[in-house]
Amino acid sequence: MTNRQDSVRGMDAQQDAMATPRGLREVLLSPGDCSGCGACTELAPDIVGWREGDERPFLVSDVAPDGVLTELMAFCPEGCFEDGDAS
């Protein structure tokens, strides 16, 4: 095996190690248009939090079960959530 093949395999192994765990999706939150409705924190308090006095939510976890992320994306009226693994 050449050094180049070793290098490519090493990169593949590194990417596998960095991949989102099975059954979970990377959650991206862009609260730029957030209206502050609070639906996300009620729907998934383990994933989205809200500090007292803040105007916008923050991510408690940057990964969520697939179905939870789907619900966050569906219920946020401003489209603030995205699937980081969809591309």
78 lines the binding site for ligand SF4 (CB under 6 A): yes
Q: By CB under 6 A, which span of 1-9, 15-23, 58-66, 77-85 interacts with ligand SF4?
A: 77-85
> What dihedral do alpha carbons 20, 34, 43, 45 form, nearest 10°?
70
- The letter for the amino acid at 43 is L
Binding mask 53-72 for ligand SF4 (x = CB under 6 A): ----x---------------
Contacts of 75 by beta carbon, 8 Å cutoff, 6+ apart: 39, 40, 43
CB of 78: closest distance to ligand SF4 in angstroms?
4
* Smaller CB separation from ligand SF4, 7 or 35: 35
